[in-house]
Amino acid sequence: MKEGKIRMKEEGLEKIAEKYLSEIKVGTSYEGISEIDVFVLCLPSPIDEEGKPVVRYLENSVRDIANRVKKECLLLVESTVPVGTTEKLAEIFRDVNGKKLDHDFWFAHCPERVLPGKVVEEMNSNHRLAGGVTNASTELAVAFLNTVFHAELIHATRSRISETAKLAENAFRDANIAYANELAKFCTVLEIDVTEVIQLANLHPRVDILNPGLGVGGYCLPKDGWILVESVRPFGEEGILIPAARQVNDSMPAHVSKRIRETVLDMSLRPTIGILGLSFKPDVSDTRNSPALDLIKLLGFTGMEVVVYDPMVFEKHGDKKVESLEEVLASCDVLVLGAAHQILKKELQNKDLSQKVFVDPHGTMIDIATQVRKYIGLSV
């Protein structure tokens, strides 16, 4: 960013970067921090290996700020956090520097709410929550958001409510994908096409089943259900449905791996599998928690080799990753569409795939079925 560049691919972001990045002071030190009026904290709030939320990045940064601010300030948390975190962060701030809430500082949770791949568009059109730890904090947060977003899109609430709403949004999405995925697994043993079942079920006026697939990836969805569950665990509540949804979605790479392995054995194919697309969803470069990465691991466990091609992903992935589709086609009988990037689908159109087994967990390239040796969807 200091060089005036943004690595992340988002439609419209480059244009914004060109226009504004030179006017923004970007830094990695706390220099000049005492002069700041509004802090927008966008730090990561991941879960650890045991599924417990990690809020220390936020806590440390609040401590660092608290130690350095000189004037009145508003602190906004954009991160998705366990319920009650914003209140705790306000306490940390007060404990560190002895300043008074609603007098010297104000604290609110204003979660982001955008679709990766459509961040710029949705940043302007989606509703936003302003959840203060006090009424005065809420008011100040609303006033600040008003300077950037349309007033009618800003909703005043309390931090505990906005924290819960944000987690509930993502867990809802995760649960609905899990429903589609469970249905796909059922259709597999019933030997019927889950795509047709969902299409017909969705003719019902109150039914809207999502698309099943290789699993749920990205930075938010795989963790936010757990963060919500961890928020209530101290009160003796465990959750039944949300943990079940996580379990189903996490099981999908194993489901696809099993289908691939069975096909390789049944058809006596070469045990080198070509994975096309590594990102957690089509047309983004983000591979965080991508189910394609889990699939690669699982295929490895069953003794299969993997070759990976993704024209959108810049990171290395060991010696597995190759730089052209040709290399994949040369070494693999089985191709797996891990992420259906437009650019990848276009490249595939010009290739002779008549001897390939094509695995399409998301069912996004069903038209290719007639051009390949065998087409394998999620269920049939």
List strand residue ranges (DSSP E) for 119-192, in order.
128-132, 154-158
Beta carbon of residue 284, minimum distance to its own copies (angstroms, whole number): 16
Query: How many Cβ atoms sit within 10 Å of the Cβ of residue 324?
Result: 11
Give min distance, CB of 349 to its own copies, in A. 30
Torsion of CA 225, 230, 235, 237, to 10 degrees: 40
**Cβ closest to its own copies, residue 82 vs residue 274:** 82
Which lies closer to its own copies via its Cβ, residue 129 or residue 313? 129
Q: Where are the alpha helices (DSSP H) in 251-307?
A: 252-267, 291-301
Question: Residue 195 is encoded by which pair of tokens?
Answer: 């795509």
Nearest-CA neighbor of 78 among 38, 51, 105, 28?
38
Shortest spacing between CB 23 and its own copies, in angstroms: 31
Contact 378, 363 (CB under 8 A): yes
3-class SS of residue 154: strand
Among left, alpha and beta (phi > 0; psi -120 to 50; other), residue 51 is left
Binding map of its own copies across residues 90-129, x = CB under 8 A, - = no contact: -----------------------x-x------x--xxx-x
Name the CA radius of gyration of the chain, rounded: 24
DSSP structural state of residue 315: S
Q: Does position 150 bind its own copies by CB under 8 A?
A: no
Q: Which stretch binds its own copies (CB under 8 A): 90-98, 136-144, 194-202, 324-332?
A: 194-202
Question: Amino acid identity, residue 213?
Answer: G
Q: Does 145 bind its own copies (CB under 8 A)?
A: no
Query: Among 16-24, 232-240, 312-320, 349-357, which window interacts with its own copies (CB under 8 A)?
Result: 232-240
Q: Using CB under 8 A as the criterion, what x/- string covers residues 19-58 for binding its own copies?
A: ----------------------------------------
Q: From CA 184, how far away is CA 178, in angstroms rounded?
A: 10
Mark residues 154-193: x for contact with its own copies by CB under 8 A, - for none. Answer: -x-xx-xxx-xxx-xx-xxx-xx-xx--xx-xxxxxx-xx
Contact 153, 128 (CB under 8 A): yes
Active site members: 166, 220
- Does position 209 interact with its own copies (CB under 8 A)? The reply is yes
Q: Euclidean distance between the first and final Cα of the chain, in Å? A: 46
Least Å from the CB of residue 93 to its own copies: 22
Among 43, 120, 232, 322, the residue binding its own copies under the rule CB under 8 A is 232
Would you count residue 297 as binding its own copies (CB under 8 A)? no
User: Smallest gap, in angstroms, from Cβ of residue 258 to its own copies?
Assistant: 12
- Euclidean distance between CA atoms 103 and 175, whole angstroms: 42
Pairing of strands 73-77, 105-109: parallel
Question: 309, 328 in Cβ contact below 8 A?
Answer: yes
**Shortest gap between Cβ of 108 and its own copies (angstroms)?**
14
228 touching its own copies, by CB under 8 A:
yes
Interhelix angle 291-301/252-267, rounded to 10 degrees, is 50
Window 236-255: contact mask with its own copies (x via CB under 8 A) = xx-xxxxxxx-xx--x----
User: Which residues in this chain contact its own copies in the complex, by CB under 8 A?
Assistant: 83-84, 113, 115, 122, 125-127, 129, 155, 157-158, 160-162, 164-166, 168-169, 171-173, 175-176, 178-179, 182-183, 185-190, 192-193, 196-198, 200-201, 203-209, 228, 231-232, 235-237, 239-245, 247-248, 251
